[in-house]
Amino acid sequence: MLSANREVKKAVEAYWTDKITADELTKAASEVKKYNWTNLKAKGVDFIPSGDFTLYDHVLDHSAAFNVIPARYTGFNLSPLDVYFAMGRGRQAGGVDVPASEMKKWFDSNYHYVVPELSEATEFKLNFNKAVEEYNEAKAEGVITRPVVLGPISYLVLAKADRNASAGFKPISLLEKILPIYKQLLTELKASGAEWVQVDEPVLVMDVAAGLAKEYATAYSALAPLSPKIILATYYGRLDSNLEYAAKLPVAGLHIDLDREPGQLDATVTAAKAAGLVLSLGFVSGRNVWKNDFLTSVKLGQKAVSELGQSQVIVATSSSLLHIPVTLESEKKLTAEQKDWFSFALEKASEVATLAAILSGSQDARVSASLEANKKSIEARRKFEATSDDAVRKRVAAITDADIHRKSLFPKRMEAQRSLDLPKFPTTTIGSFPQTKEIRSARLKLGKGEITTEQYEEFIKKEIELVVRFQEKVGLDLLVHGEPERNDMVQYFGEQLNGFVFTQNAWVQSYGSRYVRPPIIVSDVSRTSPMTVKWSSYAQSLTKKPMKGMLTGPVTILNWSFPRADISKELQSRQLALALRDEVVDLEKAGIRAIQVDEPAIREGLPLRRVDWDNYLRWAVDTFKLATAGVTDATQTHSHFCYSDFNDIFPSIQRLDADVISIEASKSDMKLLAAFKEFGYSNEIGPGVYDIHSPRVPSVQEIKDRIASMLGLIPDNMLFINPDCGLKTRGWKETEAALANVVAAAKWARQTYA
Ligand code: MET
Ligand SMILES: [Zn+2]
């Protein structure tokens, strides 16, 4: 569970800027843990997790504990805490200059974990035992918990080979080497008195697990005898054929996700019965904010209870509550009707407790009152869902194949786009410039009514002018307005579209200390008026250089919102695409000749099972094309992707048919580009030349080297030069220095590859 008011983010950032000490940070962390434990207890939850608290990322916590610390972070005399943060976010201070580790999407979510780096030479060592420490810490607060540990197989599968590993090295080959660490961890945990431990093995819902039966058997037969009772937790998907061996592992219980995959209940009940396992039923969604429908859950739950007996059934949330804001109680602006549709983490905890009580046959008046109240809420929501925006529905129904294709093929468009007059190796940025304290404070003041809209807009105009003048001065070619008016790349659009509701405090972690506040889609989506045209045309009016318009794509808006649960994502994405298509066309009409539609989240929406991929990719690609295909040949469409490994959806990236794409490549060691080589890519492309997720400034030489290696794979008339993502999280100082180096490297490239 996260912290109710982003206390962890605030404390961590205060520590980074030397405003608080390490001890004060630890104290702030303890407060948050205590709040969460005592509140979960008060809600009536029996199995309260511990050990899942993190200052940055829970996978990184395991790496730090297991001494999986790449050599580049050691030898600087940093405290363990500073080494930990250096691995997470890089460090450039006091003579230390080291980039952050690679981050990757956590399964199909918008959370990013820090990828462990392993090789044959890795020597594991248990530096500290977080499970024990937090178990004891909670106990001291009067709360008995069920510690959570990421299981050995999932940890290894989520890791990557480090630079010293020999070719073909697979992290999973280290299983025998890592097991002693897990043995030690679990033995100590048992000695500290923990009765249960939750060992997370989400990899069990992935296809790769089909080939890991032997590894799972080896691991759990080694661990179970010396461990507290193990509940093996799977989530985000279905076990499918992996159930057969998973249920036979020598563990005490199995947890399944019934929010995503209710269809797996019957088979799991049968398998659990045969194996004598406790079954933990994840009814209550850990991924979405809608209220649980008690009647449906109870029906399913009773099936399990009648087969297994009450003592063998646990009710739970589908996954951890990492993806859900903490409590509805801090929402003062939602209407009573809206509030009644949702449950956040603490409310979900109550749902779990109530469902468990109902399933155990409780006659408590409070329980039946909760059941009645739930029935009413669900009925009210169903009524609301029955209403729809007919204009939107009709327009979606009328979409034709022609709507998703540009007028001409790329070569002809590329010709037409010469009118943009860009040099060889055009330099550009991904959109946002530093979101400074001043910008955030102006937005805050506007929200509080301390300044007028006019004053705010004047302020934004000045910011835009600053960004434009800077880009001209430093010598960038394709400019951006800097996105100072945007609180967040999804929220900004959601707030202007019909069909969304917004929270005041529903923050969820994206990575490290980055949090986002996903909007909630509650009804049909449409656009009332232009959303970005005013700012983009103002920016264009300031300069002769081309200005790139900047939109967030339909698939990303959808994937970074809490979607409706009553209609398909595909339909929701089409509604969004039509709204964005109108915006794209309006930008073109206003004289904007390059328009970027960001789709950083397209990869993370990919289903976890391969059999489900084609269907998703079909609609996701068509949705993007529907949003962008309304312009003439001369308008250059861009798209941007980041964070993920895109190799496996490569043909779909091509099928998007954007004129230019920019893509993160700096952290994943150019392996993406190898895919470009392998599959071929016909349009223009700007692989990121440096990592913006860290404050460190890349040297000109580093950037030249990147460009040179890219040119081994990409024709020189197709290469754009840009950072790997937006600059909003950066300060101005490093931004100025980094972009000056980018421009210098581009100049060098123009001479060298003339
Ligand atoms: C996470 S992708 C961000 C793209 C956006 N245009 C930006 O620069 O901030
Ligand atoms: Zn990005």
Measured CA angle at 468 (ends 463, 473), to 5 deg: 125
If you measure from the C-alpha of residue 727 to the centroid of ligand 1, how many angstroms do you get, rounded to a whole number?
Answer: 8
Q: 685 with 718: CB under 8 angstroms? A: yes
For residue 683, what pLDDT band results from cuts at 50, 70 and 90?
A: very high
CA distance 299 to 266: 12
For residue 591, what pLDDT band results from cuts at 50, 70 and 90?
A: very high
Mean pLDDT for the stretch of residues 199-210 = 98
Domain architecture of the chain: domains with CATH: 390-752 (3.20.20.210)
Q: Provide CB contacts within 8 A for 422, sequence distance 6+.
A: 477, 478, 546
- Position 645 pLDDT exceeds 80: no
Nearest CA to ligand 1 atom 8: 726
Alpha carbons within 13 A on the beta-carbon side of 750: 13
Nearest CA to ligand 1 atom 9: 726
The pLDDT value given to residue 669: 55
CA distance 751 to 612: 48
CA distance 278 to 267: 14
Nearest Cα to 60, choosing from 113, 110, 98, 4? Answer: 113
Q: How far apart are the first and last CA of the chain?
A: 55
Q: What is the pLDDT of residues 54-69, one digit of tens each?
A: 999 999 999 999 999 9
The pLDDT value given to residue 427: 98
Nearest Cα to 732, choosing from 474, 442, 447? Answer: 474
Best residue for ligand 1 mutational test, from 481, 489, 552 (most atoms within 8 Å of Cβ): 489
Mean pLDDT for the stretch of residues 82-100 = 93
CA distance 714 to 670: 12
Mean pLDDT for the stretch of residues 433-453 = 96
Mean pLDDT, the chain, whole residue set: 95
CA distance 496 to 507: 19
Nearest CA to ligand 1 atom 7: 726
If you measure from the C-alpha of residue 725 to the centroid of ligand 1, how many angstroms do you get, rounded to a whole number?
Answer: 6
For residue 739, what pLDDT band results from cuts at 50, 70 and 90?
A: very high
Nearest CA to ligand 1 atom 6: 431
Q: Please, which residues bridge with residue 638 across strands? A: 596, 660
Tokens of 657: 């048919």
The pLDDT value given to residue 643: 66
Question: In which element (H, E) is residue 698 found?
Answer: none
Cα 74 off chain centre by: 29
CA distance 614 to 603: 13
- Position 668 pLDDT exceeds 70: no
Whether 212 is in the pocket of ligand 1, judged by its Cβ within 6 Å, is: no
The pLDDT value given to residue 238: 97
The pLDDT value given to residue 667: 55
Q: What is the pLDDT of residues 270-323, one digit of tens each?
A: 999 999 999 999 999 999 999 999 999 999 999 999 999 999 999 999 999 999
CA distance 326 to 505: 9
The pLDDT value given to residue 642: 86
CA trace torsion 81, 86, 91, 96 (10° rounding): 70
- Position 454 pLDDT exceeds 90: yes
Best residue for ligand 1 mutational test, from 112, 559, 640, 644 (most atoms within 8 Å of Cβ): 640
For residue 601, the ligand closest to its alpha carbon is 1
Tokens of 467: 């960004």
If you measure from the C-alpha of residue 432 to the centroid of ligand 1, how many angstroms do you get, rounded to a whole number?
Answer: 6
The pLDDT value given to residue 680: 80
Q: 660 with 696: CB under 8 angstroms? A: no
Tokens of 568: 């398909």
Whether 432 is in the pocket of ligand 1, judged by its Cβ within 6 Å, is: yes
Q: 585 with 628: CB under 8 angstroms? A: no
CA distance 420 to 413: 12
Tokens of 258: 């019934």
Percent of the chain with pLDDT over 90: 91
Mean pLDDT for the stretch of residues 189-204 = 98
Q: 520 with 501: CB under 8 angstroms? A: yes
The pLDDT value given to residue 726: 97
CA distance 745 to 737: 12
Whether 574 is in the pocket of ligand 1, judged by its Cβ within 6 Å, is: no
The pLDDT value given to residue 110: 87
For residue 94, what pLDDT band results from cuts at 50, 70 and 90?
A: confident
**Looking at this protein, which amino acid is placed at residue 689?**
V
Q: Mind telling me the catalytic residues?
A: 693
The dihedral sign for the CA sequence 128, 129, 132, 133? positive
Whether 640 is in the pocket of ligand 1, judged by its Cβ within 6 Å, is: yes
Mean pLDDT for the stretch of residues 478-502 = 95
Q: Is the ipTM of this complex over 0.95?
A: yes
Distances (CA, A) of 151 to 198, 214, 234: 9, 15, 10
Q: 154 with 202: CB under 8 angstroms? A: yes
pTM of the predicted model as reported, rounded to 2 decimal places: 0.92
- Position 666 pLDDT exceeds 90: no
Q: What is the pLDDT of residues 603-621, one digit of tens each?
A: 889 999 999 999 999 999 9
Q: 199 with 232: CB under 8 angstroms? A: yes
CA trace torsion 310, 292, 378, 506 (10° rounding): 150
Percent of the chain with pLDDT over 70: 99
